[in-house]
Structure 1
C-alpha cells in the first residue's frame, strides 16, 4: 500500500518480517493436530475396550446352560382299576370303578352305581392313606360332590349310625346336577390304618333311612388284592356285622322303598 507523504513509514513497512507470525500459526496448528489425534486415540481405546467387554459377556452367557422349565408332575395319576380292590354286595346296578394314586403313595378307588337322577344311585370313594389334611364333614362331601359335577343345595345336621366299621358320620343332603336328588351322605375314617371312605346314596322315589344306609355300608367288601393291613381291618369289621344286614336284608336295604303313607 502506498502512503504518500510518509517516506519513513514506507521504509519501515518494506523491512517488516512476517516469519514469527507464520511460526506462531504453525505451532497453533500443531497443537490442534495433537489434541485431535489424542482424542481419536482415546475414543479408539474406549471402543476396543467396550468391544472386548461385550465379547467376554457373550462368552459367559454361552457358557451357562439355559434353564429348562419343567411342569411339576400331577399329584394324582390314574391307575388300573382291575382287578377291583373293593366291591359292594348287592349293588343296585353295575359298578363303574376308577382308581388313582397320589405321589405320597395314597390310593383312591371310586365306585359309582347308576347315574345321578336314577331311582337308585350311589357313589363311594375309598381312600387308603391320607394325602390331605382333614376337613369338616360338609366341606369333604361338598368337595367330593364337585368332583362328580354336583353341588350341595341343602344339608341337615350330621349324626352317627352304627355299621360294621363302627360309627359312621351321616347327614341328609340335597344334591344338585341336571336335577335335584335327596341323598344320604356319609363318611368314615380310621387314623390307625389310614383307611376311610365317603360318599352318598340317593333315591328319587324312596326315603333312605339309617337301616338302609347302614346295610349299604356293611356291603362294602375287600378284594383279594388288598394289603395285609386292609385285610385285617375288614376281617375285624366282618365280625362286627349285625344280623340285620344279612344277604336278604342287604338286598332289601338298597331297593327302593315307597315312602310311608300319611
Structure 2
C-alpha cells in the first residue's frame, strides 16, 4: 500500500538520485510549479542528482530550451533523458527502415531527424509518402486536438503493408495549462489495437531508463537502483515504468489523475486507493503535488 507524504524532504535522504517527470510534476507546459522547483533545488543542494526523465519526443537540447523559455530554474536539475533521444537512436539504427512516413509537427520534424553524431555509421533516414515508406515515425499527432481515429484509414493501409510504427512519446494525453492534448502514444495504441506493430522508447519501457542511468554515470554518479527514486503523475508510464525497473516511486496525484483521486492539496485516501487498485499499481509514496 502506498504511503501518503507531505513533502519530498520526508523521504529524499533515502535516495541519491531522482528520475523526475516534467509535465504535471515540474510544469504544466506553460509555467513552472514553484514548489516543485524549490523541492528539487533543495534536494540538489544536499548533494542529490536530478535526472529529468521525460516522454518528450524532442532531443534533450530542445527540452532544455523549452524549460528555459517557461522559466524552470537551471539549478533544479542536473541532466535530461528524453524519449526522443532514445527513439532517435533506434531510428538511426534502422529499426523501422530507411524510408519513413513521418507523423508529427514541423517543430519536431526540425529536431527529430537531425543526424546523431555520437553514432557510428547511422542509417540514412529519408522521409517518404506512406505508399513508399518502409516504416512510420510518430512524434505526435498532426493536430493534438483531433481524435486519434482520424488516422485510422492511413493505419489500415500501413498495417496491410506490415509497417512498424516507432512511437517517440508513449504518453496518451498531456495537459497544457487547462487544455488536454493527445500525444503519440494515443496513435500508437490505436495502431496496435488495429493489429499493427508499435515500438516504444519512452516510459514505461526499458530503453529510456537505460538512457537515464547512462546520463547519471556521465555525471560521475554510479547510483545503485535501490537509491533511485522515480517521480511522476502518469500511472501507466511513470509508475508502471518504475515498477518494471524495480525502482521506488512517488505518484503525483494532482496531475493527470487529479479528478479521479479527488486531489485538492492532497488526495482523498479512499479515492486514491480505488485508482491504484484499478491500475493494479502500488507506488512507494503518493503526494498531491511535488513540494
TM range (shorter): under 0.3
Q: Which has the higher strand share?
A: 1
TM-score normalised according to structure 2 size: 0.23
Q: TM-score, normalised by structure 1?
A: 0.25
**Structure of higher RCO (CA pairs closer than 8 Å, 6+ residues apart):** 2
